[in-house]
A and B are shown apart, each in its own frame.
Chain A
Amino acid sequence: MTTQTQTGPDPKTALSSRGGGPRADRSFQVLTLVAGLLVLAVLALILITTTREAWPALSEMGLRFITENRWDPPSNVFGGLAFIYGTAIVSLISLIFAVPVSIGIALFLTELAPRRLRAPAVTVIDLLAAVPSVVFGLWGVLVVAPKLVPIYQWFNDVLGGIPVIGSVFGEPVGSGRSFMTAGLILAIMITPIITSIAREVFDTVPRADKDAALALGATRWEMITGAVFPHSFGGLVGAVILGLGRAMGETIAVALIIGSSTQITANIFASGNAMPAVIVDQIGESTGTFTAALIGLGVVLFVMTVLINTAAQTIVRRAEIRMKGARS
């Protein structure tokens, strides 16, 4: 360690450790390891404590907590299926609208837009992400929902008579507070997230890959489908999952817009409810098992998010192996 002061090998050629480097490396390693473990610890803690709080309701209801559609706090029956359904359907609607739009914006910004337009456009989209969700909620309820009712009515008039499709486009609720409205507002809320990640992902596509496609006589669109998308698949799935996470967890905007009624219906123009919205609506007036049941909804939401994330990661890993070879 202290070869410099001792009579040993010539300091100019000594190979033994000077101490500082390896020790700094070691402590850096420990520091990052702790940081990494901290995330896991926090996740586990949240899951453990919320499950414990929710236990009275979960143990009483068992699996019926997620399979039964009856939410009746006075008689201590808590079957949250309608809320799970509401969360799923609203998230799905938001993704259907947000994903193509976001990918379109991202492609425009990376491949088509003139260079000087890019920075301002990105700023505007990021600003959209900065709008508080309660503002989106109020806007949705007061401005958007009433205006959408005639459009919903038109869809109902045109498509309502068709057997299966008709039940999806059913009679709209008069206030316009419905799955559809909530999904649309959520779509606007998650578009900036998906756009900004998709943009970064597209930016990482090597120039060489795009050149290769163009040199084969590809049009810009063929270049995008042939070179840009295969390269970006994993990142795009990640972007969509982040958007989905936000949509599933969004509370206040959905609580304001979705209409707060406990029902399972294929009609996307009907009112419903979603897990986070129920929690924020009812937690104030709840006690005992009721409170535990609401926390239980939170646990279900949490577990759903983790499951979806895991599934997405598996899909991405499989696709990467298929597209890029096992070496990477």
Chain B
Amino acid sequence: MTAPDPKVETVTASDRPSVSINAPTSGWGAVGVDTPQAAGAPVMDLRDVSVFYGNYEAVRGTSMPIRQNQITAMIGPSGCGKSTILRSLNRMNDLVPGARVAGKVTYHGQDLYAKDVDPIQVRRRIGMVFQKPNPFPKSIFDNVAYGLRINGIKGNLHDQVEEALTGAALWDEVKDKLKMSGLSLSGGQQQRLCIARTIAVRPDVILMDEPCSALDPIATGKIEDLMHELAKTYTIVIVTHNMQQAARVSHYTAFFTAEVDDKQVRHGRLVEFSETGKLFTNPSDKRTEDYITGRFG
């Protein structure tokens, strides 16, 4: 991790997007080049966010902050909408026909769903790592270089690829076979390759959608160590099925659950958001307590 401060560079070095970065009223979102933002200041903020697929409201009324250089975990049973919320944070939901977001998601004070916001620029700053490792059917080098190329990032391509692979704790394992296919790696290596691919474009926030669910415990451990390392530079949001994982890696945890309303329709819902230590030792909601102690509501 030798990047001086990718976040600052991300915003200043790239071509100015249609996302204009206005100085927000609250002050925390200002992209001061000289003044690194304090860890813990909110980078993103969700206010009463609901996600619809057609007429079906998959998640309703979610409000929570995503804090700078912190790992925020989203946990909860299947179908509670945690992945849906995650995908609304970089507008990947746009790709699902009929998907719609109500409420307000802000990124450094800007409304992510405002008319003049370009989803491509959003995803450029808010990267994503997926559940199943999904390297492109290309060489290891090209996998990492892809994002650099499409974003027209200047500089020595090889150095930047090396830096990203180092950042993803993969360089030593692959430095002699950069021309080999990314798909020839093991599952854990593939997932770290996907992380390298994501950090190569120097995003601000990294979203991880159950990044370890397809991996064995050793590979999972490596990714978790890596996440701690990455949090020094990036802001991370992780969705996980694994409560121990949330407890191990995250600073903040959001617990979601699925509720059935009067019309027998299931909706995902945020039950509790707090510091991870507090949520796991002293939850304020009965439903959270039931879930983390293994008694499902």
* Chain A residues within CB distance 8 Å of chain B: 115, 206, 208-209, 211-219, 222, 226-227, 230-231, 322-328
Given contacts A217-B201, A222-B150, A231-B137, contact A324 B183 (CB under 8 A): yes
The 8 Å CB contact of B123, one of A206, A214, A230, A323, is A214
Cα–Cα distance between A222 and B124 once the two chains are bound (Å): 13
A222 / chain B contacts, CB cutoff of 8 Å? 150
B92 and A215 form a contact (CB under 8 A): yes
Sample of 18 further A-B pairs with CB below 8 A, known A212-B194, A214-B95, A322-B181: A115-B97, A208-B130, A208-B132, A209-B134, A209-B137, A211-B128, A212-B135, A215-B92, A215-B123, A215-B127, A215-B128, A216-B127, A218-B120, A218-B147, A226-B136, A227-B136, A324-B181, A325-B181
Cα–Cα distance between A245 and B146 once the two chains are bound (Å): 35
**B180: interface (CB < 8 Å):** yes
**B22: interface (CB < 8 Å):** no
A230 / chain B contacts, CB cutoff of 8 Å? 136-138
The 8 Å CB contact of B197, one of A216, A231, A327, A328, is A216
B130 / chain A contacts, CB cutoff of 8 Å? 208, 211-212, 215
The 8 Å CB contact of A219, one of B120, B136, B180, B198, is B120
Cα–Cα distance between A323 and B97 once the two chains are bound (Å): 31
B127 and A323 form a contact (CB under 8 A): no
A211 and B183 form a contact (CB under 8 A): no
A208 and B134 form a contact (CB under 8 A): yes
Cα–Cα distance between A211 and B207 once the two chains are bound (Å): 13
Contact residues, B105-133 vs A (CB, 8 A): 120-121, 123-125, 127-128, 130, 132
User: What distance in Å separates the Cβ of A77 from its nearest Cβ neighbour in chain B?
Assistant: 52
A325 and B184 form a contact (CB under 8 A): yes
B183 and A328 form a contact (CB under 8 A): yes
Name A208's closest neighbour in chain B (CB-CB). Answer: B134
Cα–Cα distance between A216 and B92 once the two chains are bound (Å): 11
**Interface majority SS (helix, strand, loop, mixed), chain A:** helix
User: What distance in Å separates the Cβ of A207 from its nearest Cβ neighbour in chain B?
Assistant: 9
B121 and A216 form a contact (CB under 8 A): no
B124 and A217 form a contact (CB under 8 A): yes
A324 / chain B contacts, CB cutoff of 8 Å? 137, 181, 183
The 8 Å CB contact of A216, one of B95, B123, B135, is B123
Name A321's closest neighbour in chain B (CB-CB). Answer: B181
User: What distance in Å separates the Cβ of B166 from its nearest Cβ neighbour in chain A?
Assistant: 19
Cα–Cα distance between A209 and B183 once the two chains are bound (Å): 12
B181 and A323 form a contact (CB under 8 A): yes
- What are 23 A-B interface contacts by the 8 Å CB criterion? A206-B134, A212-B130, A212-B194, A213-B146, A214-B92, A215-B90, A215-B128, A216-B123, A216-B127, A216-B150, A217-B120, A217-B147, A219-B150, A222-B150, A226-B136, A226-B146, A230-B137, A231-B136, A323-B137, A324-B183, A325-B180, A325-B182, A325-B183
B137 and A212 form a contact (CB under 8 A): no
Cα–Cα distance between A230 and B151 once the two chains are bound (Å): 19
Given contacts A211-B130, A212-B194, contact A218 B150 (CB under 8 A): yes
User: What distance in Å separates the Cβ of A251 from its nearest Cβ neighbour in chain B?
Assistant: 39
Cα–Cα distance between A129 and B95 once the two chains are bound (Å): 33
Cα–Cα distance between A222 and B181 once the two chains are bound (Å): 20
Cα–Cα distance between A219 and B124 once the two chains are bound (Å): 10
Per CB-CB distance, the 7 closest pairs between chain A and chain B, nearest first, are A217-B124, A325-B184, A325-B181, A215-B128, A208-B134, A216-B147, A323-B137
